[in-house]
Copies of this chain bind each other. A is one copy, B any other.
Amino acid sequence: MSLIVQKYGGSSVADADGVRRVARRVAETRNAGHSVVVVVSAMGDTTDDLLDLAGEVARKPPARELDMLLTSGERISMALLAMAISDLGVPAQSFTGSQAGMITDGSHGAAKLVEVSPRRVREALDNDNVAIIAGFQGVHRSTSDITTLGRGGSDTTAVALAAALDADVCEIYSDVDGVYTADPRIVPSAQKLDRVSSEEMLELAANGAKILHLRCVEYARRFEVPLHVRSSFTHNEGTWVIPSPHENLTPQKEIPLEQPLIAGLAHDRSQAKITIVGAPDHPGIASRIFRLLADSEVYVDMIVQNVSTGEHPLTDVSFTLDESQGALAMNLLRAAEEKIGYTRLDYNDQVGKLSLVGAGMKTNTGVAFTFFQALADANVNVDMISTSEVRISIVTAVEKLDDAVRAVHTAFGLDSDETATVYGGTGR
């Protein structure tokens, strides 16, 4: 008998039918002899609907009240799920984040977990109940105010509970079968990965793969929680995300010592590129620019600086960021025109990023060659390049991005003969 934490996203419990379907799935797991903890998100569009209401009553809703408002969404879904499970003859109890001991700091809207004390969840399990926990929410340690964990919050709730309860596995359910070598909507021949290391998964998540949130992968790696990403629509095995590739074998899954060269590709269409043209090329210019942006919580991704020559050398600095922060960054830079001293600002939100991820590339020198050759053959212009130990990323024109993904996928022999199944949205 294992202890299994299952997390279901909002699209899995979008309506009463979805709630009953998830309930059957939970009851099956329970009836197979396992202890089950379920983390659930708000139903379908509930969170967006509540945000709309907030926008109708206030121009700038206080963050404390926004958290109180939004957390009602998970209360609804968790209570309904507990009812539906009970209706199948399996005793179930729901718990809010506060009741489940999800203690956070006071950053409303993006709270960080500071302690997880699931005493009541343990009691419920000891009394043979399925425990249903509201995802995404916690309670501020000192004020007892209700907080939310921000983006990817429900995944984080699930992993944190799995770690605190020493669960055998944390299953993340969504509407796709697992992690693919590339987005099956763009590469129909993409293959589902049976397993991926958390190091690789981190790079995929950080570079545009939507299946798992970066924060949840980091948490799982840190606390050595095995993740199993799978579909709530099938009983197929999904993808195992293994905390450390060569150690900590889980009881469920043996991991071969040989590591595949490439785990997969991630892409991100939501990039924008800003170029500061003709800035004076003296030491500290880059740090001045990026300090300015960091102070306003603008997150810069890739940076390229061209060093010029001559008597009064000028430099062009380009960087990418999420396009949602593009306008803010441009305003900050315009306001600092005199302080920085530049000729011109260029803004381009028609760019995308392609990343190739694989732990094997640490020890294989041919990867970069194959990568760039494939892009050249496909007539893809490379704008910017960045690399890590297990990743190469490039920025290119957004209209070239799909071609680039397919060309690289083929070049590394990742295409399968079968067509991947896509069930619906993004699973989040």
Contacts and interface: CB of A to CB of B under 8 A. Distances in A.
Contact of A75 (B23, B69, B82): B69
Interface of A: 16, 19-20, 23, 50, 53-54, 56-62, 64-66, 68-69, 71-73, 75-76, 78-84, 86-87, 92-94, 96, 99, 120, 144
B66 A83 contact: yes
Given A65-B94, A69-B76, A72-B76, A87 B20 contact: no
B54 A80 contact: yes
Nearest to A98: B98
The count of identical subunits is 2
Contacts of A144: 99, 120
Contacts of A20: 57
10 contacts: A53-B76, A54-B80, A57-B87, A65-B80, A65-B86, A66-B79, A68-B96, A69-B79, A69-B80, A75-B75
B66 A53 contact: no
A358 to B, nearest CB: 44
A83 B71 contact: no
Contact of A16 (B57, B72, B82): B57
A56 B144 CA distance: 34
Nearest to A67: B79
Nearest to A73: B72
A142 B3 CA distance: 28
Contacts of A80: 53-54, 57, 65, 69
B94 A57 contact: no
A68 to B, nearest CB: 4
Nearest to A57: B84
Of A19, A20, A82, A96, most B-chain CB atoms within 10 Å: A82
